[in-house]
Structure 1
Amino acid sequence: MNVLVILAVILFLLMTLIGGGKGVRSFVAIFLNFGVVIFTVILMNDPNLAPVILTIIACLFISCINLFFINEVNIKTKPAFLATIVSTVILLIFILYLTDTAMIQGFGEEEIEELGMFSFYIGLDFVKIASAVIIMSTIGAITDTAMAISSPMREIHFHNPHISRKELFLSGLSIGRDILGTSTNTLFFAFFGGYLALLIWFKDLSYSIGEVINSKIFSAEMITILCSGIGVTTVIPITAWITAYFLMRRKENSEETL
């Protein structure tokens, strides 16, 4: 039994103990999402298939797994899913323009030495690959933020059913402001944690601050972080508005039935 299996078992036991049935579904969702990502990467090897379209389809599946499989289909997950899709589409337009303009596609010079023995003529558009990478990197944070806003808004409406749509919307924005800072900082430190060895390498090679900032690999990761932060920020008012609409609409339908 290797380390990976031991850690997976510990994670499963903790998620089951603390989360119950939902914790078990969350654990299974990790492997389902992993399968979706691997299958998408395999399909990207076909030059006849558009990487961005494949990524959008993969994001739909990932959103469904993270929201509907884990938390089931209900008044909280429906607005979160819709807000995720709207935010991703808006961000997609920005990402496609940005990756083409910033020219962050491909490999940086720090990676060329290890890949020098391989051919780079693989028949794929690296601009679209770069866009797909950024989109895939943002979907988790966007889904998490959408659910983190939709769920408390449902509780606010449940305990205060006479609240107006505007007040409910403003409550959602207030919740979003509270989690915005922690969410964006999580993305930031995830980058520095994953690329700490690269930063140490930059220091050993006596890179100046300008050379670090202008290196392709650093710029690509920072652009990914900033796009993720933009996505997290954008999804807050969208989720608040959609959730407020869904909750008030259901209340109006219930009153009409009575």
Structure 2
Amino acid sequence: MNVLVLLAFILFILMILIGGKKGARSFFALFLNFGVLLFTIIFMTNPYIDPYIVTLIACTVISYINLFFINEVNSTTKTAFISTIITIVIVLFFIVIVTENAMIQGFGEEEIEELSIFSLYIGVDFVKIGASVIIMSTIGAIIDTAMAIASPMREMYHHHPSISKKELYTFGLSIGRDILGTSTNTLFFAFFGGYLALLIWFKDLSYSVGEIVNSKIFSAEMITIFCAGTGVALIIPITALITAYFLVKKGENKEKVI
């Protein structure tokens, strides 16, 4: 416990020194997001509540915290928030179809032995739970990408107010192309970092490449990466389009008032 407190204190000091007030808000946002996840788990295990609805509400609240609480309400966070919600809804439909057809819900063979003493008849739909887990794993990357595109687009428009919607949209796409590869690779290495022990276990058990690929745990994580990558790819044109429209439209309205 002392180690956790010490590490949290070090992180808090560094975030304040580097980020100032925004860094402090970012630190407290970690605990707010953790609280949202706890409530999400509580409601998601309720058989009378649809996990999809809980997931959409949780993603909306998390987006609100990470965008408006940390970065305050401005044109950048507004467009990033709208783009995030639209992308989440689109990706959710896609993930539901993939989850139902891939049948990756539930537990794999490697996990059954540890859970054999518990009853799996808990009254919840594991297909919906599986889709919700994937979308919750995707929300962080989508929010980061939305902010990474909307922020420089606002700066570009601030320095070049005469820029057209098409030019601003193209500028946003060019930024998205630069961060698309790094974002997807971040998701990929996060998987291998989190499941490195599992991969070592596969090696010790002399799993073949085919057995590893067809393992439910491995397949579920790879599908999560692909779905997250799909969300990151979709958020780029959506954010660029909404931000370009919002900024140019706002500029035109100001000119009409003047």
Compute the TM-score of the two structures, normalised by the length of structure 1.
Answer: 0.99
CA distance in 2, matches of 1:223, 1:171: 31
Give, in angstroms, the shift of residue 245 of structure 1. Answer: 0.5
Report the equivalent of 1:75: 75
Report the equivalent of 2:55: 55
Helix, strand or coil: the match of 2:193? Answer: helix
Report the equivalent of 1:183: 183
Map 1:23-34 to 2 at 5 A: 23-34=23-34
CA distance in 2, matches of 1:218, 1:2: 35
CA distance in 2, matches of 1:151, 1:224: 27
CA distance in 1, matches of 2:220, 2:4: 30
Report the equivalent of 1:240: 240
Helix, strand or coil: the match of 1:76? Answer: helix
C-alpha distance after superposition, 1:180-224 (max 9, x if no partner): 111000000000000000000000000000000000000000000
Report the equivalent of 1:64: 64
CA distance in 1, matches of 2:109, 2:186: 28
Report how many residues are paired: 258
Give, in angstroms, the shift of residue 20 of structure 1. Answer: 0.1
CA RMSD of superposed structures (Å) = 0.6
Give, in angstroms, the shift of residue 45 of structure 1. Answer: 2.0
CA distance in 2, matches of 1:175, 1:46: 42
Q: Which amino acid aligns with 2:56?
A: I
Report the equivalent of 1:92: 92
Q: Which amino acid aligns with 1:81?
A: F
CA distance in 2, matches of 1:236, 1:225: 17
Runs (4+) of structure 1 exceeding 6 A deviation are none
CA distance in 1, matches of 2:225, 2:4: 28
CA distance in 2, matches of 1:182, 1:20: 27
Give, in angstroms, the shift of residue 162 of structure 1. Answer: 1.0
Give, in angstroms, the shift of residue 44 of structure 1. Answer: 1.5
CA distance in 1, matches of 2:230, 2:28: 29
Tell me, which stretches of 5 or more residues in structure 2 are unaligned?
none
Helix, strand or coil: the match of 2:121? Answer: coil
Map 1:1-258 to 2 at 5 A: 2-258=2-258
Give, in angstroms, the shift of residue 42 of structure 1. Answer: 0.7
CA distance in 2, matches of 1:203, 1:83: 42
CA distance in 1, matches of 2:223, 2:187: 11
Helix, strand or coil: the match of 2:75? Answer: coil
